[in-house]
Amino acid sequence: MAYEFKLPDLGEGLTEGEIVQWLVKEGDPIHEGQIFVKVETDKAVLEIPSPRKGVVLRMGAAEGETVQVGNVILVIGEEGEKPEALAKPEEAEKRPSVGVVGELEEAPEEKAEEAPAEAAPAPPGKTVEVLAMPAVRKLARELEVDLGTIAGSGPGGRIIKEDVQKAAQKKEEKPPEKAVKAARKYDMYGYVERVPLRGMRKTIARSMVRSKYTAPHVTAMDEADITRLVALREKEKEKAAAKGIHLTYLPFVIKAVVAGLEEHPYVNASLDDENEEIILKKYFNIGVAVDTKDGLMVPVVKNAKEKSILQLADELSGLSEKARSRTIDLADLKGGTFTITNYGAVGGIFGSPIINYPEVAILGLGKIQEKPVVEEGSIEIRKMLPLSLSFDHRVVDGAEAARFMNTVIDHLEDPDLILLEA
C-alpha cells in the first residue's frame, strides 16, 4: 500500500518550507534514511530523509513551491504499484502527525455532529451552527477569520484547517487589477525586476521590524586603540595556521565582550514583557553575524567564556562556512545572549546596528584604520577600531552602556587582559 510522507514538523516554530531540490524522481527506488529532497525554511536548508524503503510513486510539490507542514510531499510504494490520489485534507487531519524523528501522538478528536448537507456562509443578520474542531477554531482566532463566513469542505460541512487557511489567504489577496499592475516588468521610469520576499529574506525583514518597533534603540560610538592587539595577532596567526586555524580579530573581540558582560550583566539580558521581568543570563552565548548570499545569518558560539582564542577561531570558521552553505543546524542559530556584527570587513566605519531581539544589545565593528593619536604630548600613528553599541534603553541606560564599552575597550587595548582570561 502506498505511503504518503507529509512535510514533518521542522521545529523552532516553522510552519512551511520551500522545495529547493528534488534528489529523486518518479519511478526511482528509495531506501530508508536516503535524503530525497532539500527544503528551505526561513533559517536554513534542510535535507529530509525517507522514512522507509520502496519506489517513488509521486512527488507532491514542484521545486520552488512552498509547502505547509502536514502536506504530502512524497508518495512511496512497492514496485509496480500505482499511486492513489493524495490524501484529502480531512483525511490528513485524522492521521497522526509525523515529525523528523517519528510519529507524534495526538489527543483524540472530539466528535462533531454531522449536518445533512454542506454548510454555506451565513447570510447577514443570521447565524448558523459552525462545525469545526477546537484546533480549527483556535487557528481561525489566530488568523482573524470568521468561521461563520466559511463553507466547510469536510464531511457534513465540517470546517477544516485548509478552509480557514484559504479564507485567510483571500483576505490578504490584492484586487485583480493591482495584481496585474504588480506583475509589470517596468514602471514609468524604466524596467524593473521584482524579487519575491520569502525564505530567509522575509524572516530577516520580519525580525528587524519587530526589533526596531519593540525595543527603543540607542547607539553609543567609541574607538579602541588596538595597536598592541594587531601586533599580537600578527605574531600568533602563523602558529594558528600551522594548526589549520584561521585567526581573525573576532575571537579577541568575543573575549573582550564576555569580560564586559560579566561586569555589566544587564547588557547580557532579555526583557520578559508579559511578566515584566528582566532576565539576566548567567551564560555567555555570542552570536556573530555572517554575510551570506541570502542575507545575514547569526550563528551562536555557545559558552564563549570557557573557550580559548584558538577554539573560538576554529568554531567561528566552521559555523560561518555552514551558514554560507545553508547547511547549519537550527540549534546553532539559537540561544544567543549578545551579538557582534563586523561590517568593517566590507569597509564600514560606524553604524547603528539593529538589536538581535530579544537580546538587549549588539556591538558593531568598523574597519581598522591608521589614525594620528596624541600620546603623552606627541602625535603617533595608531591602529584604531571603531565600535558602535546599539542597546535597548528599556533595560540598559546610557551610563551603563558607556561603562560596558569602557571594559571592552580596556581589554582590546591591553591584550594581556584577554590572554589572562583565555
Q: Which residues are catalytic?
A: 393
In our burial notation (b when 16+ CB lie closer than 10 A, e otherwise), range 63-82 reads eeeebebbbbbbbbbeeeee
Q: How far is CA 1 from the centre of its chain?
A: 38
Instruction: Label residue 417 exposed, middle or buried (CB < 10 Å: 0-12, 13-18, 19+).
Output: middle
Task: Determine the 3-state secondary structure of 71 from DSSP.
Answer: coil
Which helix (H) or strand (E) element contains residue 136?
Answer: helix 134-143
**Residue 72 neighbours by CB under 8 Å, 6+ apart:** 4, 5, 6, 7, 60, 86, 87, 92
Which helix (H) or strand (E) element contains residue 89?
Answer: helix 89-94
Could you tell me if 152 and 158 are in contact, meaning their C-beta atoms sit under 8 angstroms apart?
A: yes
CA atoms within 13 A on the CB side of 128: 22
Q: What is the DSSP letter of 68?
A: E
Alpha-carbon Rg for the chain, nearest whole angstrom, is 27
Q: Which position has the grid cell 527544503?
A: 39
Bridge partners, residue 68, by sequence: 16
Q: Which position has the grid cell 447565524?
A: 127
